[in-house]
Amino acid sequence: MSSTERRVYVLQGHGEKDPNDTERDGYSAVSESLRRDNYLVEPLVLAQLNDVPDDATVVLIAGPTTDVLPAEVEALRRYLGRAGKLMIMLDPQVGPQTAPLPNLESLVREWGIDPGNNVVVDVSGATNEPSIAVAATYPVHAITDGFATLTIYPLARSVEPIEGGTDGHLAQSIVETSPQSWAEADLESLTSDAGVTMDDASGDRPGPIPLGAAVSARVEASADPGAATDSDEPTPETRVVVFGDSDFASNAYGGVPGNVNLFANAISWLAQQENLIAIRPVDPEDRRVTMTPRQQTLTMAVSVFFLPALVFGAGIFTWWRRR
């Protein structure tokens, strides 16, 4: 655990996940996990500020349903320009509650990551619902170092590194689905009676499908020769992580250990706290045993009568042998 308190600001005002909401769609479970790692988790209404607060360690944008304002995008750009750390979780553009996100998606593409206009369909059989993507492949990256746990993503979109990068920003995939999945481009077919099938002609892309990507960039050191430096501090970097789903970290899926750990690992990497990755303590499991009345009676008889009698008999036998 880090001894220095750090702040994770969760953007609000665009339909994002609430860090204190204890309902199924809320983020109270992952917020508590972050607090155990000594992060303060606070809401951020950027539209009411001129800039991202200077004490921000990470800014999280989790599942917005409406786009951020141009002024907010500019504030985020300035924040990234001073070694900011940003996680963006973009859900597919389906359903009546969603709206286009051109401003936010443009910012994502500036960092070499392309959020696809699709929904990932998984027919691997790992779940009974094709709209829930299951991932067990994690390309080499600090976030996924030693990570080998299943993660599941209900209603996800592809998040793919742009080939060749953008303005020198080369992103890396960090999580991918199985070959038995594809990215469905025809969003209207998802609600049709005919169902969905893999169709190259309509723009569908066969799996594996990347669901998350990360990118970093060095920040030039201060030109002030009198500026103080701390050799113990890591070299300042701008870091960005993008996921194609925000529900995987919600309370509804907090019981999937891989989901919570991958989310927390991504936050630790963004905060340049790699020492916290993959060593997070596991919450104790509920191991209560349910017994029938007959089993309860038998257990009580063994513990109250048989075991004490056995100990007493062993004592008598030992005394007799010594005599």
Model pLDDT for residues 38-80, shown as the tens digit of each residue = 999 999 999 999 899 999 999 999 999 999 999 999 999 999 9
Q: In the CATH scheme, what is the code of domain 6-276? A: 3.40.50
Q: What is the largest CA-CA distance in the chain?
A: 94
2 close to 34: Cβ distance less than 8 angstroms = no
Of 143 and 225, the structure prediction assigns the larger pLDDT to 143
* End-to-end Cα, the chain, rounded Å: 60
Mean predicted confidence (pLDDT) in 131-144: 95
Mean predicted confidence (pLDDT) in 200-223: 86
> Pairing between strand 181-184 and 172-177?
unpaired
Structure confidence by residue, pLDDT tens digits, 165-185? 999 999 999 999 999 999 999
Structure confidence by residue, pLDDT tens digits, 83-103? 999 999 999 988 777 789 999
Question: What is the percent of the chain with per-residue pLDDT over 90, rounded to a whole number?
Answer: 65
Write the CA distances from 243 to 87, 152, 162, 179, integer angstroms. 8, 12, 14, 19
Read off the pTM: 0.82
pLDDT tops 50 at residue 228: no
CA distance linking residue 53 with residue 75, whole number of Å = 10
Reading the block at residue 276, the tokens are 């916290």
Q: Which parts of the chain fold into alpha helices (H)?
A: 28-36, 70-81, 102-110, 257-270, 293-301, 307-322
pLDDT of residue 227: 43
CA distance linking residue 81 with residue 219, whole number of Å = 8
Structure confidence by residue, pLDDT tens digits, 255-271? 898 999 999 999 999 99
Q: In what order do the strands lie in the sheet with 39-44?
A: 39-44, 6-11, 56-62, 85-89, 237-243, 210-218, 172-177, 132-137, 151-154
